[in-house]
Structure 1
Amino acid sequence: MAKPQATAHPKQAAQQPLTLDRTLSYRLHKLHKLTDLGSQQDYLRETGLSLSDGRCLATIGTFEPLSVKDLALRANLDKGQASRAAQALVEQGLVSKQHDQLDARGVVLTLTEAGRAAFVRTMDLVHRRNQQIFGCLSAAEQETLSALFDRLIQHSRQP
């Protein structure tokens, strides 16, 4: 009688090294660049905002009130970029910047009335762009990909 062969765990199996163009980071970066190009054009045409300003407006509207530091964290920007974007949105009358009652050096960002209208237009665009990007996947595939991204993000946050 033949002895059953033990199967190696996938992580233990000898794997051929991936070529650069098959690595996750390379493909994520490529997808990011391809989708940002379309998003940049759509943001300018539909909201009159740059992609960066539009993303910051969407972040402020979703999580307000926010400090500049919180905006940077939520929008995946450095503090300088977040500060410049917030100031640009203030100058356009879309965001209000008030002194933080808890931190004398800090500010709190909230949407103005005009900012709320721009937020609705921006979020409509965000949802349409999301559907354009992921529309080639079935609903089940979209759910699976979303869960996998959540897992990868959680794993990447671990020390």
Structure 2
Amino acid sequence: MSRLWLVAFLIGNIFPFGQTAIADGPATFVVAPAEVKLSSNFARTQLVVTRTDASGQIGERSEDLTHGAAFQSSDANVVAVDSRGQLLAKSNGSAKVSVKVGDVSKEIGVMVEKVEPVANVGYVEHVTPILNKAGCSMGACHAAQYGQGGFKLSVFGSELDQDREAIVR
């Protein structure tokens, strides 16, 4: 049994399957999209950082470096960026987002427009998808025959007017 563990240990260290080393040298990478335009409140997009080969191209086996990249917005009042590279529109204007992998850094331009000071939240556009995603409008939850806790919704949000009234009363 101990020989089996020794063999497994040696094979695991000699042939590191599935492991990639980001510190192989200076990282050459591309950021997609190269430019971002966000329109409206709550607009967001995801940046993807991909290692390039020696010729500067990406292929189907290129490594995704997004998880190891550092992101920073030049103006967090215009666009916020989280540690995963997701951008969120905050106010109208333009900013740059810096993407850093190892010692290499790149900037992408971000343009934000049509952001209103007070967001116009619509029941059909914003509330119904949340209820559906959370499963609230399913037959096993608040759309059950008698609802739950005195709160009842229509199945799959099919009766928008009744659902809206149930929520706001």
If the TM-score is normalised by the length of the shorter chain, which range does it land in? under 0.3
* TM-score normalised by L of structure 2: 0.21
